[in-house]
Structures are given as structure tokens and as C-alpha cells.
Amino acid sequence: MPARNTDSPAPRKRADAERNKQALLEAAAAAFVDAGVNAPVRDIAARAGVGLGTIYRHFPARADLIVAVYRHQVQACAEAAPALLATSPTPHDALTAWVDLFVDFLITKHGLAEAMHSDAAAFEPLHAYFLEHLIPAVTLLLDAAVTAGEITPIDPLTLLRGIGNLCIGADPRYDPRPLTTILIKGLRT
């Protein structure tokens, strides 16, 4: 067995492959901004100056591309939870602030919330990725608020789903924030 210890069993990718992957990520990010996360795969490929085969080599399904594009932002969102809890006057304030943050993230990604709830198996990775990272974040905030006696207990997944659902809507004139605010208000004891 080769003496590779802990890091990178990487078979070392070809230079052009890595270059194309980056071009694809940038093209996808741009396409998502212009046309929402439902931007046709062909458009993304064209933007990146790449063939259809290439896009599917790097990202087996559409959802993988979406995950790759938003990975950093989801992580940032998750990491904001403990920070907010530490700096906010009360756990409920932290929760409110975090929800605002999450809503801001969602509404700027037209179609992301919709895609999250698609029944298509292809979007399962997306769904799983979001939950895996965000459930711990909301759980932390909710537990703190419950312990402080500020809110009644609620399943974190349910809340996350509710907020996500409220952010669905192609219409850019639609602002879900009044609704999310009411929802959070409804949690108070």
C-alpha cells in the first residue's frame, strides 16, 4: 500500500479539467443571477464555453452544480448562528437576526427555495446538504431561546422548512419578510 497518509488520495486532475470546472462554477453563478437556479444547463455550458458532456462530468446532476455554487454561502449562514447568539442581547434576537440572514440568502437566489422542495430525486443532494449544515444552526438558536423561556419548542426541521417555503415565489415584488417575521412572532411564549 502506498505511503499516502491522511491527505489527498487525489489522482491529480488534469489542468484543463480543473480550469473547466472553475469556468463552469463561475458561469453557473452568473447564470443563476441572471435567470435563477433553473437556468438551462445548455446556457451554463455555453457561458463557460464548454460542451454538455463536460458539465455532467464535473457535476453529475444539476443539483450538484447548485450545491457547489452555494456551498460557501450556506456554510457562512450556518456559522453565523453561534456568532449571533454570542453577540445578541437575547436568544430570540439572535434567532430573528439569523432568520433575516437566511431569508436574505434565499430571496436573492431566485428559484432556490422552489428547487429545495422539488420532488425530483436529482435535488435530493441539495436538500440533504442544506439540512446537514443548517439544522445544527437552528437547533442551537432554538434551544437557547427555549431555555431562556422566550419561545415554545419547535422541531428545527419544521421551522427551517417553513421559512424556506415562505421564501418561494418567482415574483421579485413579493417580499416574504413580513411573513417570516409573523412566523417567528408566533413562536413566542
Summarize as ranges the residues that interact with its own copies (CB under 8 A): 114, 117-119, 154-155, 158, 161-162, 165-166, 168-171, 174, 176, 178-179, 181-187
Residue matched to cell numbers 444539476: 62
Amino acid at 56: Y
Crossing angle of the two packed helices 91-107 and 177-185, in degrees rounded to 10: 150
- The residue range among 13-21, 68-76, 78-86, 160-168 that interacts with DNA, by the rule CB under 7 A, is 13-21
The yes or no reply on residue 50 touching DNA (CB under 7 A) is yes
The yes or no reply on residue 150 touching DNA (CB under 7 A) is no
Beta carbons within 10 angstroms of residue 105's beta carbon? 17
- Which of 31, 46, 92 has its CA nearest to residue 84? 92
User: Which option in DNA, its own copies, none does residue 53 bind, with CB closer than 5 to 8 A by kind?
Assistant: DNA
CA distance 150 to 92: 7
Q: Which residues contact 185 (CB under 8 A, 6 or more apart)?
A: none
- Which of 126, 27, 111, 18 has its CA nearest to residue 70? 126
C-beta separation of 135 from 157 below 8 A: yes
User: Which option in its own copies, DNA, none does residue 139 bind, with CB closer than 5 to 8 A by kind?
Assistant: none
- In the complex, what is the shortest distance from the CB of residue 128 to DNA, in angstroms, rounded to a whole number? 15
CA distance 158 to 121: 21
- The residue range among 9-17, 71-79, 110-118, 129-137 that interacts with DNA, by the rule CB under 7 A, is 9-17
Q: Which is nearer to DNA, 54 or 180 (CB)?
A: 54
DSSP conformation class of 50? -
User: Which option in its own copies, DNA, none does residue 119 bind, with CB closer than 5 to 8 A by kind?
Assistant: its own copies
The yes or no reply on residue 117 touching DNA (CB under 7 A) is no
- The residue range among 52-60, 73-81, 89-97, 106-114 that interacts with DNA, by the rule CB under 7 A, is 52-60
Spell out, one character per residue from 19 to 48, where the chain touches DNA: x when CB under 7 A holds, - when not: -x-----------------xxxxxx-----
Which residues would be at the binding site for DNA (CB under 7 A)? 11-17, 20, 38-43, 49-54, 56-58, 60-63, 122
